[in-house]
Amino acid sequence: MDVSWLTIGIVLLALVVFGVAVFLLVTNPSLSRNWSPDQFLMPSVEFIKDDSKHGTVRIKNIRNIHYRTTRDYDLRYYDREIAVDDVQSVWLAIAPFTGFGAAHAFISFGLADGTYLAVSIEIRRRMGKHFDPVKAFFRQFEIMYVLSDERDVIGVRTNIIKYNVRLYPVHTSKDTIRAVFCDILIRADKLGKEPEFYNTLWNNCATNIVGHARKFAHRPIPAWNPSYLFPDFLDRLAYRLSILKTDLDYKEAKKFFNITAKAQSVGEGDDFSKAIRQGLLPEDSLTTPESQLYETDTRQPARQSMTN
């Protein structure tokens, strides 16, 4: 009986698809692998009820690495208690890298004492492994929430890897900021007990940020948008939705909120977070505490058009 090459090809393709499906079904996420030292420790969070309105969080394993290169660094971690009422602001960071639309998006929360807690949602790398967006479709990387100082997650990108980083203040109410802050910490803690796989399409840095924001947003945020797959354009969506605190047009905002040069000029003993924000806030921020700038959500209407 003659068998056509087309039939053989279909059978082989079916076997490959079946094999991949079986592999995906039997591959489970793990907390126990040969992790890269900078991602060996997962953060843990405890919520403490006290006399304050929203209570206090006790965070363990906040990362504060001192980098000389991406492979030569001093590992440093510390624990901290933060009163939720002290969370005053939130900032969106975009760090583009090679490829169309490719970028890492992360956020940072401003606290009443002038310090910041950054949240970077990343793959949890194993020793010798590097991020690959194609492999990330096929259960090759676990996901983790890195809680860290800004000198760590921003500084390594601007000063060591030499990426350009844009850092935008987000316009919303303090109640929303605190709700998102707590929601993020709950998930960060959960991932330290119940691991998940990173996925390029639906469980990446952008989809998680948006997922937290959508729970508490005062205006609709799309459940899906191409910028979630190409995070270099996430600030463009945020601009269109009037989420970013700026009156500049989009092109001007991208240039104005590029903090790369500021970060690269910060001295070792300087206040990194303060230096990279120099000039980014409105003029009245020179006399008005930052906490008051985020007190009211005016819910500006979403912009209907945008400069590309």
With vertex at residue 285, the alpha carbon angle to CA 164 and CA 93, rounded to the nearest 5 degrees, is 25
Q: How confident is the model at residue 27 (pLDDT cuts 50, 70, 90)?
A: confident
Q: Residue 76: pLDDT above 80? A: yes
25-32: Cβ within 8 A, 24+ apart = 27/139, 29/139, 29/142, 29/195, 29/196, 29/197, 30/142, 30/195, 31/192, 31/193, 31/195
Q: What is the mean pLDDT of residues 253-274?
A: 95
Q: What is the mean pLDDT of residues 114-143?
A: 93
C-alpha 175/C-alpha 75 separation (Å) is 34
- Residue ranges of the alpha helices (H) in 148-304? 150-153, 155, 174-191, 205-216, 234-240, 250-256, 260-264, 272-276, 290-293
So what's the pLDDT on residue 20? Answer: 55
Q: Residue 273: pLDDT above 80? A: yes
Q: What is the mean pLDDT of residues 213-224?
A: 93
So what's the pLDDT on residue 108? Answer: 98
Q: What is the mean pLDDT of residues 127-142?
A: 89
pTM: 0.86
So what's the pLDDT on residue 21? Answer: 59
Q: Rg of the chain over CA atoms, in angstroms?
A: 21
Which residues make Cβ contacts (< 8 Å) with residue 227, sequence separation at least 6? 101, 206, 233, 234, 236, 237
So what's the pLDDT on residue 10? Answer: 72
Q: Residue 52: pLDDT above 70? A: yes
3-state helix, strand, coil in the chain (%, to 5): 35, 25, 40
24-47 burial code (b ≥16 CB/10 A, e <16): eeeeebeeeeebbebbebbbbbee
Q: Residue 139: pLDDT above 60? A: yes
Burial class (CB in 10 A: 0-12, 13-18, 19+), 261: exposed
Q: What is the mean pLDDT of residues 69-94?
A: 97
So what's the pLDDT on residue 269? Answer: 82
- Residue ranges of the alpha helices (H) in 217-281? 234-240, 250-256, 260-264, 272-276
So what's the pLDDT on residue 26? Answer: 53
Greater pLDDT, 251 or 19: 251
C-alpha 84/C-alpha 61 separation (Å) is 18
C-alpha 291/C-alpha 273 separation (Å) is 15
The two beta strands, 103-111 and 73-74, are unpaired
- 205-216 vs 174-191: helix axis angle to the nearest 10? 130
Which two three-digit tokens encode residue 73?
A: 């660094």
Greater pLDDT, 7 or 110: 110
226-251: per-residue pLDDT in tens?
999 999 999 999 999 999 999 999 99
So what's the pLDDT on residue 38? Answer: 96
169-204: per-residue pLDDT in tens?
999 999 999 999 999 999 999 999 999 999 999 999
- Calculate what percentage of the chain has a pLDDT beyond 70: 85
So what's the pLDDT on residue 50? Answer: 83
Q: What is the number of alpha carbons within 13 Å of residue 307 lying toward its C-beta?
A: 8
Q: How confident is the model at residue 268 (pLDDT cuts 50, 70, 90)?
A: confident
202-211: per-residue pLDDT in tens?
999 999 999 9
So what's the pLDDT on residue 232? Answer: 97
